[in-house]
Structure 1
Amino acid sequence: MKISRRASLAMLTALAAATLIGCGKKDETPAPAASAPAAAAAPAKAEPLKVAFVYIGPVGDAGWTFAHDKGRKAVEEKYGDKVKTTFVENVPESAADAERVIRQLAVDGNKLIFGTTFGYMEAMLKVAKEFPDVKFEHATGFKTADNLAQYDVRTYEGAYLAGVVAGKMSKSGKLGVVASVPIPEVIRNIDSFTLGARSVNPKATTRVVWVNKWFDPGKEREAATTLIGQGVDVLMQNTDSAAVVQTAQEKGVYAFGWDSDMTSFGPKAHQAASMINWSVYYNKRVGEVLDGTWKTGSSWLGLKEDGIDLGAFNPDLPADVKALVAERKKAIIDGSAPIWKGPVVDNTGKEVVAKDAVADDAFLHGIKFYVQGVEGKVPG
């Protein structure tokens, strides 16, 4: 069909108008907002610090390993998802066993590893050399390296205060200690217990039975029974189970919790407990790894730092005895009455700390003798 020029012009005019109308509509109706630039991606959440603990005995519900595990839980509570903790219990002190476990923990990505008994020292030294980017911490030893620190608690302070109570409560003046392994740490505790007892009863004596293990409830019970059979009426222990307190309860004598409150195992026998608070150290050291300030070194926490205390007193313990403990504790903390102030004499009559002298930490770490009042000889 033929279209006239006029018609063509009309059609072009209409088309232009339609186009303009369309453009006008587009201007009147806001275009969908352009997508905002994607927000900067949130930084990836830091991986938690993996922290591992190696235990000599079972966690259980009392004693040395139980106290360490309370410290581990305190770390979790304080740092939340910034940390991830794990533990391996019942790890023997033999080099092969300790090395295997500690090395595997490092391989598994743990960047801070705590070994909680004296016998792990050499194994930790060896593994620390293999993993220079891992921080290692060893309890109760004396060797360090660039990435291996050493830590301990002044358990002898708790032992001394327990001795003060024992000296006051004993009727026979015969005290006993169920001892684990004859290293300076344990000998120091026996001696300090005796110094505390003899400070209130100069005639008090201490007998010792060694079980040569840290945790062996059967042997601990047998040792306690032997001491009671020898006339001992107050027992202290440097072993990890509650067997001594249980035996004391059964035999009608007194005892002390060691490393933790053991009241529940012998409510009548349990006079007080020397309790370790490992959380003070563990929280500090984990925090230092997290903020990049961790350094190697040696630490020895005591009453002053809240690393050890004598508490969980028996409700029937006389008020004057508890008051005396509080007085002695204050004097130890403020330095006015150090435990190891001379004259101190060993049980052969030899003066080991001169009059008015105060034993330093180097001396205390090397103790291998019994003080006056402890019967027998230190095992060779």
Structure 2
Amino acid sequence: MSANRTHPFDITRRGLLLGSAGAAAAAGLGLAPGRLFAQAPISVAGIYTVPVEQQWVSRIHVAAEAAKAAGQVTYTFSENTSNTDYPRVMREYAESGVKLIVGEIFGVEQEAREVVLDYPGTAFLLGSSFLPDPAYPNLAVFDNYIQDASYLSGIIAGAMTQTGNIGMVGGFPIPEVNRLMHAFMAGVRETRPDAIFQVSFIGSWFDPPKAKETAFAMIENGADLLYAERFGVSDAAQERGVLAIGNVIDTQSDYPDTVVASAIWHFEPTLQAALARVADGSFKADNYGLYSFMKEGGCSLAPLGTFEGKVPQAALDMVAEKEAAIKAGAFTVEINDEEPKSS
């Protein structure tokens, strides 16, 4: 999915077909200005299919906790919610009067939309591969469009690899993963045009042992730098003395001699935009993925930290130049959602 077009509703991406919902949601949210957010905090619930420590979900959780600390929201959450149980948990929170439900419905797209239609007075902000649909006026979707930061991290990776052989371990070959891998690879080629890539997907969002074993195999096959899209990859890199590039969160403090750089996702702009619209009654079906772009403050390159002074200056100069161009709108990182392949 690019930011400007809709995915076909095929079974190759999610294994789910989106059916027609009819006109039952035509009444809209029914959220009058001031009803949800006078002086009282907005009630928010998070529903997550993995632990809140998992990279992607952790960024949503951190943003919600920050809003709670600022007095903007009350916040409760459920983690490790199975796809089969997800609709039930959505209903329970909606029935309890929660005003904004956040989470990720990648594995339960159709079922979640059926729930959304039953609660037109609840705002839903959910991670999805699909663009917003006016048939579901109270469902706004988002995605981690952090390809800008991934591209910059690739520039650094290309300058740090000695062999030009880079291993990339992902969860599933879906748009949310594919676009970041492609952006990273494009960045690598800026500083290492002859780089080759080993690409593998472990078929899980949270299986560190499997990710680690996959990374070990890539190292055995010559990789001297790994793209750690999943937990477990940096552990393998650390044990075998090769470098790693992080994704979504900064784990350098855990791997000070291993993780060179990371592309960081900041969910705060996305959540703040949603809260403002819930508060004034204007929340509607919309694409919040754009708030993840670097020019919106939705992603950044983590500080070099322990690798300060170890990255070639020419690469850092290129990063600074490209970052400025991205923020100014003079340079656009390509969004490529196709499955990446090994070289």
TM range (shorter): 0.7 to 0.9
| 1:147–1:296 Cα contact (<8 Å) kept | yes
1:199 maps to what in 2? 190
| 1:246–1:265 Cα contact (<8 Å) kept | no
Question: Post-superposition shift, 1:292?
Answer: 2.0
CA distance in 2, matches of 1:89, 1:103: 15
Change (3 A) 1:195 1:251: same
CA distance in 2, matches of 1:216, 1:142: 26
1:375 maps to what in 2? 342
| 1:124–1:136 Cα contact (<8 Å) kept | no
Change (3 A) 1:111 1:132: same
Task: Trace 1:1-380 onto structure 2 (pairs within 5 A).
Answer: 48-60=41-53, 63-78=55-70, 80=71, 82-92=72-82, 94=83, 96-116=84-104, 118-144=106-132, 145-239=136-230, 241=231, 243-299=232-288, 300-301=290-291, 302-313=293-304, 314-318=307-311, 320=313, 321-340=315-334, 364=335, 367-370=337-340, 374-375=341-342
Deviation digits for residues 248-305 of structure 1 (CA, Å, limit 9, x no counterpart): 1111111122111101221101101111110111122112212223222112221101
Question: Post-superposition shift, 1:159?
Answer: 1.8
Deviation digits for residues 156-186 of structure 1 (CA, Å, limit 9, x no counterpart): 2222111111111000000111111111222
Q: Greater helix percent: which structure?
A: 1
CA distance in 2, matches of 1:58, 1:224: 22
CA distance in 1, matches of 2:320, 2:62: 25
| 1:207–1:375 Cα contact (<8 Å) kept | yes
In the TM superposition, structure 1's runs of 4+ consecutive aligned residues that sit over 6 Å from their partners are: none
Change (3 A) 1:140 1:271: farther
| 2:104–2:127 Cα contact (<8 Å) kept | yes
TM-score (norm. length: structure 1)? 0.74
| 2:159–2:312 Cα contact (<8 Å) kept | no
| 2:105–2:112 Cα contact (<8 Å) kept | no
| 2:150–2:180 Cα contact (<8 Å) kept | yes
Question: Post-superposition shift, 1:115?
Answer: 1.6
Deviation digits for residues 58-107 of structure 1 (CA, Å, limit 9, x no counterpart): 122x62222211111121133x1x52111111123x3x221122111112
Change (3 A) 1:117 1:218: farther
Deviation digits for residues 135-156 of structure 1 (CA, Å, limit 9, x no counterpart): 1111142143211011123222
| 1:162–1:256 Cα contact (<8 Å) kept | yes
Question: Post-superposition shift, 1:117?
Answer: 5.1
Of all paired residues, the percent bearing the same amino acid is 31
Q: Could you say which structure has the greater relative contact order, defined with CA pairs below 8 angstroms and 6 or more residues apart?
A: 2
RMSD: 2.0
CA distance in 2, matches of 1:237, 1:124: 30
| 2:63–2:271 Cα contact (<8 Å) kept | yes
Change (3 A) 1:222 1:259: same
| 1:288–1:294 Cα contact (<8 Å) kept | yes
Structure 2 portions without partners, runs of 5+:
1-37
AA aligned to 2:171 is: S
| 1:58–1:90 Cα contact (<8 Å) kept | yes
1:59 partner SS: coil
Question: Greater CA radius of gyration, 1 or 2?
Answer: 1
Task: Report the more deviating stretch, 136-145 or 126-135.
Answer: 136-145
CA distance in 2, matches of 1:272, 1:338: 21
Question: Post-superposition shift, 1:123?
Answer: 3.0
AA aligned to 1:217 is: P
CA distance in 1, matches of 2:105, 2:260: 27
| 1:272–1:312 Cα contact (<8 Å) kept | yes
AA aligned to 2:68 is: E
CA distance in 1, matches of 2:255, 2:47: 29
| 2:248–2:262 Cα contact (<8 Å) kept | yes
Change (3 A) 1:143 1:339: closer
TM-score (norm. length: structure 2)? 0.81
Question: Post-superposition shift, 1:369?
Answer: 4.4
